[in-house]
Amino acid sequence: MSVNDADEVKSVFTSVSQSRSSRSATPGLKSSKSSKVKENDFPPLIRELAIAAKAQARMAVIYDTPFPPTSRGGRVDFAWKVIKEAAHNTDNSDIKIAFKQISSSSDVFLKQNLLSFVSLFFFTDRF
Q: What is the pTM of this model?
A: 0.70
Which is more confidently placed, 38 or 121? Answer: 38
Sign of the CA dihedral running 75, 105, 86, 98: positive
pLDDT at 10: 56
Dist CA 97 CA 119 (whole Å): 21
pLDDT of residue 23 exceeding 50: no
Bigger pLDDT: 121 or 119? 119
Average pLDDT, integer, range 32-52:
88
Average pLDDT, the chain: 79
Nearest alpha carbon to residue 81 among 102, 53, 107, 62? 53
CA distance 12 to 77: 12
pLDDT for residue 69 = 83
Q: Is residue 20 predicted with pLDDT exceeding 70? A: no
